[in-house]
């Protein structure tokens, strides 16, 4: 860091001007513009690690030029913009909106559950399942890829075709030393097109293909590919509950947040009226 500081100071001498007493005495100022100080540690933070001195200097110079230019542009804008009051109003409105948003988020974190319960998710799924329609073909199963010269190919084929607990244990052990890759997704749904990208299999009608095939074996010049399909659902069918849970959770959370904020604002208003905090004047 000392070397980098030296390089920066040497390279940026053209930017340096006299600092005055308002500079932070515990930090090393590189330059000052209209009472605004840029310090060496701020510049060092934007320098990526493990890059050469030339690149470091170039990045630092670009950063400093942008920093100085922004200050000068802002000063010029303040002197030349005539609708300052409108800008001040916009800033005040934005600040108010930001504070309200932060307050609402804090209330939500304090008073609402982190996520809906399993019962709430299931109830929503049962009620609106006809709207949760698959846009992709999905499968459960496993994909094993081994080299062309892998040993015990006949056993591997048999294990994948079987798919029982003992066979899966054998595949696990075998894949540790022999497999190029092993993806087990028997307990979760995977989009079939993602699997097709991993194997040399060209399918014109994916929905029909996964409906008719439970075991697939293909090869190329380097590998054997073994695919087992334990379950499937095709485009147009209802999305499985376990696959919908995340989306349903987001829907319920957003609705719960909106309802909570609406009710909180209503109660706040009603209380203010009841307590005479809001005073209405008769015409």
Average pLDDT over residues 223-244: 95
Position with higher pLDDT, 81 vs 166: 166
Task: Kindly state the DSSP code that residue 203 receives in the 8-state scheme.
Answer: -
Report the alpha-carbon angle 6-9-13, nearest 5.
Answer: 150
Distances (CA, A) of 65 to 17, 37, 68, 215, 282: 14, 13, 5, 63, 60
pLDDT of res. 102: 95
Note if the pTM is more than 0.75.
Answer: no
Is residue 105 over pLDDT 50?
yes
- d(C-alpha 104, C-alpha 223), whole Å: 56
Burial string for 56-73 (b: 16+ CB within 10 Å, else e) reads bbeebbebbeebeeebee
Residue 18 confidence (pLDDT): 39
Tokens found for residue 268: 């706040």
17-32 burial, b if ≥16 CB within 10 A, otherwise e? eeeeeeeeeeeebbbb
SS (H, E, C) 37-83: EEEHHHHHHCCCCCCCHHHHHHHHHHHHHHHHHHHHHHHHHHHHCCC
Q: Over range 172-180, report the average pLDDT.
A: 94
pLDDT 10s digits, 118-148:
999 999 999 999 999 999 999 999 999 999 9
Overall average pLDDT of the 47-69 stretch? 92
Task: Give me the half-sphere count of Cα atoms (radius 13 Å) on the Cβ side of residue 221.
Answer: 0
* pLDDT > 70 fraction of the chain, expressed in percent and rounded: 93
Between the alpha carbon of residue 56 and those of residues 64, 91, 141, 148, the distances in Å are 12, 36, 50, 49
Encode pLDDT of 181-229 as tens digits: 999 999 999 999 999 999 999 999 999 999 999 999 999 999 999 999 9
What is the residue extent of each domain of the chain?
A: 2-80, 118-128+239-274, 134-233
- pLDDT, position 189: 96
pLDDT band at 9 (very low <50, low <70, confident <90, very high): very low
Bridge-based pairing of strands 223-233 and 215-219 is: antiparallel
Task: Output the average pLDDT for the chain.
Answer: 89
User: Is the pLDDT reported for residue 238 higher than 70?
Assistant: yes
């Amino acid at each position: 860091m000392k070397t980098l500081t030296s390089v920066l100071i040497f390279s940026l001498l053209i930017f340096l001007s006299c600092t005055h007493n308002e500079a932070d005495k515990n930090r090393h100022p590189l330059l000052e513009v209209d009472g605004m100080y840029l310090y060496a540690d701020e510049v060092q933070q934007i320098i990526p690690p493990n890059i050469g001195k030339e690149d470091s200097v170039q990045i630092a110079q670009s950063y400093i030029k942008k920093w100085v230019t922004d200050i000068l542009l802002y000063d010029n804008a303040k002197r030349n913009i005539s609708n300052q009051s409108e800008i001040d109003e916009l800033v005040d409105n934005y600040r108010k909106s930001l504070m309200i948003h932060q307050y609402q988020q804090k209330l939500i974190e304090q008073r609402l559950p982190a996520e809906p319960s399993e019962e709430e998710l299931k109830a929503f799924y049962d009620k609106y399942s006809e709207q949760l329609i698959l846009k992709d073909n999905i499968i459960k199963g496993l994909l094993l890829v081994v080299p062309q010269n892998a040993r015990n190919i006949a056993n591997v084929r048999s294990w994948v075709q079987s798919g029982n607990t003992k066979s899966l244990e054998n595949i696990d052990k075998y894949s540790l030393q022999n497999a190029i890759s092993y993806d087990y997704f028997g307990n979760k749904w995977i989009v079939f097109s993602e699997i097709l990208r991993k194997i040399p299999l060209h399918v014109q009608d994916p929905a029909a293909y996964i409906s008719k095939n439970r075991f697939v074996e293909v090869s190329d010049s380097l590998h054997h590919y073994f695919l087992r399909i334990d379950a499937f659902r095709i485009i147009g069918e209802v999305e499985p509950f376990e696959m919908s849970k995340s989306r349903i959770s987001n829907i319920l959370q957003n609705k719960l947040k909106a309802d909570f904020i609406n009710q909180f604002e209503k109660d706040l208003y009603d209380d203010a009226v009841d307590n005479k905090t809001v005073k209405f004047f008769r015409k």
